[in-house]
Amino acid sequence: MTKNSKTWLAVAIGAAVIIIDQVLKIWVKTSFYWGEDYEIASWFHLRFIQNNGMAFGMEIGSKLFLTLFRIIVVTGCIWFITKLVSKPDSKPGFIACVSLIAAGALGNIFDCIFYGEIFNNPLPPEVATFVPWGHGYASLFHGMVVDMFYFPLIEFTWPSWIPLVGGKVFSFFDPVFNFADAAINVGFFGIIVFYAGILGGKHDAGADKETKDTAKPAQKK
């Protein structure tokens, strides 16, 4: 692929992830009340929650720290992508994975930066609405991330005779996440499974052999 093709690939993936993510979040936020659960199938629900943390509701540090951390990560990813597209031997699949990670992180950044300023945050059963700038539920950089995908694939109650967990309900998969989280994790998974060698500094063996062969001086006959 040419440099322009790789650039458009990264831009297209980034734009698609951000647009889909934000459309879903705004729809859920303005259509569901906080905590509402809509069962599409026994194993797939739409459940509107909000969190202050990272992917799957995890939390580290303060809200401002998390937002600034995300901005640093996205800036680094974008810089890395610009380096990748300029290299003739860079793999399009690797660029796609890094673009998924950057776009997913950027999608959650939008929530953190802007949602507190442009949305109210009513108690159930009311749903959120757009409000004039500055009249929202939080200040700039302190908005909450909207999550909605919930997959309770397995759920059962432990037999009462089992120590410690007897009588308790076990469910898998509990975390609620959004489209941006999914993009980030697909990107990481793709890199680990298909491009771990690149991260370790290894290159394609065939490409290395071709480079060495090219570099050899011509033999006299």
Burial class of residue 38 (count of CB atoms within 10 Å of its CB; 0-12, 13-18, 19+): middle
Q: What is the mean pLDDT of residues 44-72?
A: 76
Higher pLDDT, 155 or 116: 116
Average pLDDT over residues 117-139: 95
pLDDT, position 54: 54
What's the confidence (pLDDT) of residue 58?
Answer: 53
Query: Residue 44, Cβ neighbours under 10 Å: how many?
Result: 13
pLDDT of 37 strictly over 50: yes
pLDDT at 206: 41
DSSP symbols for 115-146 = IHHHB--PPTTSB--B--TT-SSS-TT-PPEE
Q: Could you tell me if 106 and 76 are in contact, meaning their C-beta atoms sit under 8 angstroms apart?
A: no
Q: What is the pLDDT of residues 72-86, one digit of tens each?
A: 989 999 999 999 999
User: pTM for this one?
Assistant: 0.82
In this structure, how many other beta carbons lie within 10 angstroms of the beta carbon of residue 24?
18
Instruction: Say which of 21, 111, 147, 174 is annotated catalytic.
Output: 147
The yes-or-no answer on residue 208 being catalytic is no
Amino acid at 21: D
Q: What is the pLDDT of residue 137?
A: 95
Residue 181 falls in the annotated catalytic set: yes
- Given the residues 181, 204, 208, 213, the one annotated as active site: 181
CB atoms within 10 A of CB 66: 22
What confidence tens digit (pLDDT) does each residue in 153-190 have?
888 898 999 888 888 888 888 899 999 999 999 999 99
Contact (CB, 8 A) for 47 and 148: yes
How much is the pLDDT for 211?
44
